[in-house]
Amino acid sequence: TQKLMYENGELDIVDLSSSTSQLAYFMGNDKYKDNLVTGPEAGNYFYAFNQSIKPMDDVRVRKAISMAIDRQTILDQMYNGAGHVVNSMLPDGVLGSYEAQEIPYDPEGAKALLAEAGYGDGCDLEIYQKTTDAADALAMNQVVQSMLSQVGINVTIKQMDEAAFLAERKEGNIGMTRAVWWADFNDPDNFLYTFFTEKNAKARSINHTNTDVFQWLEDARAMVDEEERMALYQKIDTTMVQEEVAVL
pLDDT digits (tens, 9 = 90+) for 166-200: 999 999 999 999 999 999 999 999 999 999 999 99
Residue 222, by phi and psi: left (phi above 0), alpha (psi -120 to 50) or beta? Answer: alpha
In a 13 Å sphere around the CA of 35, the CA atoms on its Cβ side amount to 14
Report whether 113 contacts 64 (CB < 8 A). yes
Return the pLDDT at 75: 92
What pLDDT score does 163 carry?
A: 97
Task: Please state, for a pLDDT cut of 70, what percent of the chain lies above it.
Answer: 100
- Separation of alpha carbons 206 and 192, rounded Å: 12
Distance (Å, whole) CA 153 – CA 124: 6
State the pLDDT at residue 38. 83
248 to 15, 65, 121, 237: CA distances (angstroms): 26, 9, 24, 12
Across 8-12, 74-78, 79-83, which has the greatest mean pLDDT?
Answer: 8-12
SS3 158: strand
Distance CA 180, CA 67 (A): 20
pLDDT band at 44 (very low <50, low <70, confident <90, very high): very high
What distance in Å separates the CA atoms of residue 80 and residue 57, rounded to the nearest whole number? 34
Indicate the residue type of 194. T
**Smallest Cα–Cα separation from 72: which of 63, 64, 87, 84?**
84
Residue 219 has pLDDT above 80, yes or no: yes
Band (21; pLDDT cuts 50, 70, 90): confident
pLDDT of residue 39: 79
Rg (CA), the chain: 19
SS3 state at 118? coil
Please give the C-alpha separations between residue 232 and each of 94, 149, 188, 235, in angstroms, as whole numbers: 15, 37, 10, 5
* Interatomic CA distance for residues 47 and 148, integer angstroms: 13
Q: What is this structure's pTM?
A: 0.89
Question: Does residue 17 carry a pLDDT above 90?
Answer: no
pLDDT in tens, 116-140: 999 999 999 999 999 988 888 999 9
Question: Dihedral through CA 66, CA 124, CA 111, CA 53, nearest 10?
Answer: 50
What pLDDT does residue 203 have?
A: 97
pLDDT score recorded for residue 198:
97
